[in-house]
Amino acid sequence: MSEDPVDLDRAFRALVEHSSDIVTILEPDGRWRWASTAARRVLGYTDPADVGADDVFGIVHPDDVDTARAAFAAIRKGTRGPEQPVTLRVRDRAGLWHYLEMRGQNLTAEPALRAIVVTARDVTHRREEERRVARLIEVLEGSAEIVVLTDAQARPIYANRKARNLFDLEMGEAVDDLSTRVDAESLHRVESEVLPRLRESGAWTGELTLVTHAGDELPVAITIQMHASALGAGPAFVSAIAHDIKELQRAQAQLAHQATHDSLTGLPNRSLFQELGEQALARAQREGTTVAVLFLDLDHFKPVNDTMGHATGDALLVRLSTRLRKTVRAGDLVARFGGDEFVVLCEHPAGAREMLELAERLIETLSLPVEIDGRAAQVGASVGIAIGAGGRVTIDSLLRDADAALYRAKETGRGRAMLFGPGRELPA
């Protein structure tokens, strides 16, 4: 049983009319002879006369006319025209501009047609998306943030200028050894925390230390996200946005240091001394040892301050604090409580005699003249000592006892050390 022959002319017309692509037939001189349904739907012209020009170039954007004429001339010379499609802006009947991606074919030699056929696709939406992406990339390129996109195999597919400069990333090149990109602690965190969290929830935010191409460590606050494929078959790409927090950490460390250290001498202040003192007492209790506190007060400091000026007084305190650090035992803690008061914390003292000998050395070194701006400044010192173990003894009680011994030392003539004992002060 034979089938009815296909009416090729009707079939071709039906295909063209139902195509989403625009098909137009142009005269060899550029006049518009016919347009498909898609052309009428996209541009709104129902009749060649609606174009309102002698040729089709009248609806092409003025900035694109030269490109359009050159492409049309190329088509007229050959059978296919330019190898690559040409994108032009074309005005619709309402006056709006559409980006059309066009291809042409010279069929003037075909007796049934003798015209030029141009097919086009409306790519306005795509061009708008491209412009939006271009604007986004422009923003990312100028951003101070570190931005990297990778595929599911951790191959970078985009890195902004900041990231490229810091890490010398090559697009599409796998980062085989993560240990070259982060420090050891961050590598452990990536393996134990980041990757499990990404698999579980698709996102992780925290702090890591990256290693730059130059080998420098760079602490960052970073957000890593896995972005699902549009096809739903696993992650399509991973984004990482990081902020350099090196200066923030430096500022935080500086604030923390200022909160726990004397601004003039750089020595620990009362707050830090008490914290470290309680820790020392806890260790002493565990180990069955003792802790000693030496409370020092400078003698005759006020006259120096009054006669030579506060700047000289401050310089003197700085020089004396250096002497203190050099005179105490290795591991002893020297703190300044303010004014002309200093405190020394000694762990594992051999006994009262060792602490008294240390106090005598401190008095001796603090009493030596100090030359400041060509003038000699000289003070003395008195010291109170308290020794205790853990348990009911606290750092505050040791400070109180050492202060009482210091008061007694000053009462008995200054320039000497007193040891506080159970219920009494003992002279050196």
The domains spanning 8-128 and 142-249 adopt the same CATH topology: yes
What is the predicted pLDDT for the residue at 427? 45
**pLDDT tens-digit readout, 17-30:** 667 788 888 888 88
Task: Summarize the confidence of residues 304-330 as an average pLDDT.
Answer: 91
**pLDDT tens-digit readout, 226-241:** 888 765 566 688 899 9
Closest-CA residue to 363 (of 406, 333, 404) = 406
Angstrom distance (rounded) from CA 157 to CA 159: 7
pLDDT band at 425 (very low <50, low <70, confident <90, very high): very low
**pLDDT tens-digit readout, 336-354:** 998 999 999 999 999 999 9
Superfamily of chain region 142-249: PAS domain (3.30.450.20)
**Topology of domain 261-427, per CATH?**
Alpha-Beta Plaits (3.30.70)
Q: Could you tell me the pTM of the whole model?
A: 0.60
**pLDDT tens-digit readout, 226-284:** 888 765 566 688 899 999 999 999 999 899 989 999 999 999 999 999 999 999 999 99
Q: Output phi, psi for 330, to 5 deg.
A: -60, 130
Angstrom distance (rounded) from CA 204 to CA 27: 62
Superfamily of chain region 8-128: PAS domain (3.30.450.20)
Angstrom distance (rounded) from CA 133 to CA 360: 76
Q: State yes or no: pLDDT of 426 exceeds 70.
A: no
The domain limits of the chain are: 8-128, 142-249, 261-427
Angstrom distance (rounded) from CA 16 to CA 292: 99
Closest-CA residue to 39 (of 88, 80, 114, 100) = 100
Percentage of the chain beyond pLDDT 90 is: 46
pLDDT band at 424 (very low <50, low <70, confident <90, very high): very low
Q: State yes or no: pLDDT of 12 exceeds 70.
A: no
**pLDDT tens-digit readout, 377-412:** 899 999 999 999 877 789 999 999 999 999 999 998
Q: State yes or no: pLDDT of 428 exceeds 60.
A: no
